[in-house]
Structure 1
């Protein structure tokens, strides 16, 4: 017998799909930069450019995917199509050693699949609850925790398979994971009968001489080709510029439509938080690019004769987020006293401070490598864990503030703009930063020797850059505190 607090049966199929989607995405991501440099022999500059372009565009396409789900496909169909595209993309990626065309096309297919999947899986979960259902928050927490499980396991499994067998098998495992999630989801299809399906009336209606389903088919075939060309010609930055200009125009429109000073003040707070989040994630996303290559080249990964695959280090971040999140939820209780804005800036200062501390450890590690040839693995693990812990004080804080804004009907739009800037643009900036480590010289045998000094310089600059952000946040925090004290004195005086 079900109790009122039990979750709907359908949520467990969504959670299973989320676990395997994270497994697929983070398993492939852990291998990608290593595959580009070690197997395809791309130079660091080319590899960083393609990696950052890929990581940027996966945050842009969910805007179109969400629109298609709202108007035509429904969340359930969009999620299934997205999962299928990601399976195909990972399989094509395994064949990319034969031709660069397969590489660009595979990444483009994954980007399209991610666009249909990412935002719509959360919306599908939301459809399982009535608006006032108290189980909703627990359902989203369960899905978030499940995703972290997938991101922890994936780099270990895919990294091991790649090391023991081949790159193609590593990418194929990511595809198998996504396929497993899709099969499990389809097995529970009957539990989603009450959710919105495909809008058949719109799908069969004619628009510009073709039925809508025909245009969708054209879009499905043309989009991967267009995105592949963006990767091939390194034009993704232009797509980001267009998306950013549109996002900023929408943000300006929302600001003009704000009805009072309080709403404008809340919106201004979100804008400033987004700016610091952009910088934070530009630093944090070094984990999948420059830090990964640093580990591969300059960290002693030997444990009792077994060399730990570099890709496995990508699990540390997810493990730190999950473990520290549980500890934080148990230890810290959110109080109602005091000013909320002051608490927000305190958390951001702590998050940026931890990021600075993490890169300070990595700088020490790089200096150790310069002096002794290689750095120790425990030092690397510590630095990555501290950086993972820092994430808990950034995105959750910003997202909570966005959901509190009192301007009606803009929460989803502001969330999309936040993800565009802190995701897509931050990943592009991360690529620019990572490229500063791509210094090397050829020896007499023609092999390239990468400069450890370049890593020391970049890690050190990020340490000081994050610390400077902490300083700016503390100034804002101090100003807020002084304003509150002044307001209290005036209130007492009156």
Structure 2
């Protein structure tokens, strides 16, 4: 049974995780917004290779939390592992700060980021789960606000890092501009770590049992050694498209096998919840195929086929192409409080929509967003669409993200038994990683050959991809709606079994001590 804390304690505990997550995402998205363009302009990659390398890196970045969640649960403690991950991430961004335009150095730095994220991400999410354990309405709201933290940090960094790159490049040269922008990601995360140092006591009562025990330095050394090995393995995977492809597809088979094993071997009181989590995880994989377009096809579309000048309330604004990715974060910060208010209001009268229903609405919004990009070509001038097409397209896309991705973590918190929390949070991120790679594969439908220089030609190629994604979004919406009766049945069964709170046989609780 989770410890019930006073409301003020919950608020301060949540704020501590919220702020370290905000700064961590500042670093990650500040790096992500530049990476595909950096690989093309400084490392000399063609668009298809840059997309696939970033897709593989994103897959690894999301896959390693499966192990990091287990390390937090069983070996080092949730709080300690989260903190260790943040320190390693700061080091990874610091490596990108170093003035080297070598592909090998970039792969190594990305490998460090892969390991740091693996330790940080599942444990930060699991701490939020532990803070609001047992309060289902508050869990949805808390994870929506938590998701807003992601986007406050990313909103700042995705605006700042392209600007830093351009201004430093103008003063000190192109290479210095890129690496200084990456360095800002490291500095931001160090600021988050300093803030966490002052607030860490707010989490002293939250964590896994391992947090309450003294540090086992032998375990710590083994974990760090394993992390170092993972850095080199990740760098090796990134330099080979074939190896990356088979690793990603293999991970998909493993995750499916883990879910099947857990469902078959779990206690009857847990089975319906795990089946519901599997269904929603599969839907999440499809969503993140759309999400992967932000750093790939939508990023490159902004560089070739968007009019960068527009007016807002009388102000003339010119954006740097990479900064259009920031529209996603801006919309999420705007929409998150609105959705929290709606969730809480409906929850008070017992009419809060199910997570499955929110997923269906989310896919519908994403489909409309991509049709906005696709049909926006009809109003293009000289092969360039208005920035307002991007603004409203990202608005719909971001609403869908909040309804699907923003509640993905809440879905794990709601349906997965507590003792599997960290590991299953990690497994969820592996699924997200698989879809990030698949998204980069799909983005390569919009490959622009070297002999195409006309904006009119590239516009036709990009809008063809966006319209395909719109129709796929409609298909996902239809499937999600068709699954609603099953999800309602599974959720009802899960709730009924939870009320009875059936004790689990001791032998079962040991089955999940290792992944």
**Map of 2:82 onto structure 1:** 79
Distance 1:345 1:213 in 2: 39
| 1:97-136 equivalent positions in 2, closer than 5 A | 97-124=100-127
- How far residue 180 of structure 1 moved from its aligned partner, in angstroms, is 1.0
- How far residue 249 of structure 1 moved from its aligned partner, in angstroms, is 2.0
SS at match of 1:287: coil
Match of 1:392 among 380, 398, 402: 402
Distance 1:386 1:133 in 2: 29
Match of 1:458 among 454, 462, 465: 465
- How far residue 325 of structure 1 moved from its aligned partner, in angstroms, is 2.4
C-alpha deviations, 1:261-303, integer Å up to 9, x for none? x865554443332222211220122111100110111101124
SS at match of 1:58: helix
User: Against the structure 1 CA distance between its residues 335 and 449, is the aligned structure 2 distance closer, same or farther, given a 3 Å change threshold?
Assistant: closer
**Map of 2:34 onto structure 1:** 31
CA RMSD of aligned residues (A): 3.6
Match of 1:472 among 471, 476, 479: 479
**Map of 1:203 onto structure 2:** 217
**Map of 2:251 onto structure 1:** 243
User: Relative to structure 2, which stretch is displaced further, 135-144 or 174-183?
Assistant: 135-144
| 1:389-428 equivalent positions in 2, closer than 5 A | 389-405=399-415, 409-421=419-431, 423-428=432-437
**Map of 1:7 onto structure 2:** 9
Distance 1:65 1:299 in 2: 40
Question: Taking structure 1 as the reference length, what is the TM-score of the superposition?
Answer: 0.83
User: Against the structure 1 CA distance between its residues 176 and 449, is the aligned structure 2 distance closer, same or farther, given a 3 Å change threshold?
Assistant: farther
Distance 1:269 1:192 in 2: 30
Residues 1:379 and 2:381 are matched in the alignment: no
**Map of 1:326 onto structure 2:** 337
User: Against the structure 1 CA distance between its residues 403 and 132, is the aligned structure 2 distance closer, same or farther, given a 3 Å change threshold?
Assistant: closer
Match of 1:49 among 44, 49, 52: 52
Distance 1:356 1:134 in 2: 29
The answer on whether the counterparts of 2:295 and 2:325 sit within 8 Å (CA) in structure 1 is: yes
**Map of 2:306 onto structure 1:** 299
Distance 1:400 1:295 in 2: 33
User: Relative to structure 2, which stretch is displaced further, 52-61 or 142-151?
Assistant: 142-151
The answer on whether the counterparts of 1:96 and 1:102 sit within 8 Å (CA) in structure 2 is: no
- How far residue 148 of structure 1 moved from its aligned partner, in angstroms, is 2.5
Distance 2:417 2:180 in 1: 49
C-alpha deviations, 1:429-457, integer Å up to 9, x for none? 101101111132427xx999973222121
**Map of 1:280 onto structure 2:** 287
The answer on whether the counterparts of 2:30 and 2:158 sit within 8 Å (CA) in structure 1 is: yes
The answer on whether the counterparts of 1:399 and 1:415 sit within 8 Å (CA) in structure 2 is: yes
**Map of 1:88 onto structure 2:** 91
- How far residue 62 of structure 1 moved from its aligned partner, in angstroms, is 1.2
User: Against the structure 1 CA distance between its residues 20 and 338, is the aligned structure 2 distance closer, same or farther, given a 3 Å change threshold?
Assistant: closer
User: Relative to structure 2, which stretch is displaced further, 8-17 or 129-138?
Assistant: 129-138
Residues 1:257 and 2:265 are matched in the alignment: yes
- How far residue 16 of structure 1 moved from its aligned partner, in angstroms, is 2.8
Distance 2:289 2:112 in 1: 25
The answer on whether the counterparts of 1:77 and 1:198 sit within 8 Å (CA) in structure 2 is: no
Distance 2:330 2:90 in 1: 25
Residues 1:430 and 2:439 are matched in the alignment: yes
SS at match of 2:196: helix
- How far residue 192 of structure 1 moved from its aligned partner, in angstroms, is 5.5
**Structure 2: which 5+ runs fail to align?**
169-176, 490-515
**Map of 2:361 onto structure 1:** 350
- How far residue 135 of structure 1 moved from its aligned partner, in angstroms, is 13
SS at match of 1:76: helix
C-alpha deviations, 1:86-112, integer Å up to 9, x for none? 122112223364311111011111111
Distance 1:452 1:433 in 2: 17
- How far residue 183 of structure 1 moved from its aligned partner, in angstroms, is 1.9
The answer on whether the counterparts of 2:126 and 2:421 sit within 8 Å (CA) in structure 1 is: no
Count of aligned pairs: 466
Distance 2:151 2:256 in 1: 31
User: Against the structure 1 CA distance between its residues 238 and 374, is the aligned structure 2 distance closer, same or farther, given a 3 Å change threshold?
Assistant: same
- How far residue 132 of structure 1 moved from its aligned partner, in angstroms, is 7.4
Distance 2:370 2:382 in 1: 19
User: Relative to structure 2, which stretch is displaced further, 392-401 or 381-390?
Assistant: 392-401
- How far residue 142 of structure 1 moved from its aligned partner, in angstroms, is 5.4
C-alpha deviations, 1:472-494, integer Å up to 9, x for none? 33344489999xxxxxxxxxxxx
Question: Taking structure 2 as the reference length, what is the TM-score of the superposition?
Answer: 0.79
**Map of 2:159 onto structure 1:** 156
Distance 1:44 1:355 in 2: 24
C-alpha deviations, 1:140-167, integer Å up to 9, x for none? 6654433321122110111211121111
- How far residue 130 of structure 1 moved from its aligned partner, in angstroms, is 9.5
**Map of 1:65 onto structure 2:** 68
**Structure 1: which 5+ runs fail to align?**
205-211, 483-494
